[in-house]
Chain A
Amino acid sequence: MKDKRATIAIGIIVLIVGLALGFGGATMLGRDRNARLKVGDQAPDFELYDSAGILIALSDFRGQKNVVLAFYPAAWTPV
């Protein structure tokens, strides 16, 4: 009977530690996915549609033009 209780207690502890590690790991992964870039780094290439439905890639400008890439929170707010 005691053994059974001990087994259950250990099981619960393992479960809690596992969950904590899982959440921690997920949070860290989330952070890693939001990359940190610095001056001198290669800009990640992308392909996105503009408001006219034209597909634009950063690599379209390679060897042609410097690019000012302006991220903004949301349309309909002051730029």
Chain B
Amino acid sequence: MLGISVDTTFTNAEWAKSLGVENVPLLSDFFPHGRVARSYGALRDDGYAERVIFIIDKEGIIRHIDVNEIDELPDNEVIFRELAKLRQN
């Protein structure tokens, strides 16, 4: 599990601390701004990243894409189900 946003590493560090997140690396796509988000088609016109989850298998192939509205939370069950499918294969 990797989190990724256009925030700085410092912002992410403070945020992770406040949430008690320890096992999920939060990656900083700050400079050049949003380059990775753009390569995934996840950069909005306003410069923020979309709320989107990619499930990528061990061979680096995209197996599932879960796009959510910016004010909507992803459905974790969907993600768990897709991961379970991957493990079966």
Determine the distance from Cα of A53 to Cα of B56 in the docked complex, in whole angstroms: 23
The range of chain B's interface size is 35 or more
**Interface secondary structure of B, over-half rule:** mixed
How many residues in A have their beta carbons less than 8 Å from beta carbons of B? 42
A14 contact set on B, CB distance < 8 A? none
**Interface secondary structure of A, over-half rule:** loop
Q: How far is the CB of B5 from chain A (nearest CB, A)?
A: 5
B11 contact set on A, CB distance < 8 A? 75-76
Interface pairs A-B: 4 shortest CB-CB: A51-B13, A50-B25, A75-B15, A51-B12
Whether A69 lies near B54 (C-beta < 8 A) is: yes
Whether B56 lies near A69 (C-beta < 8 A) is: yes
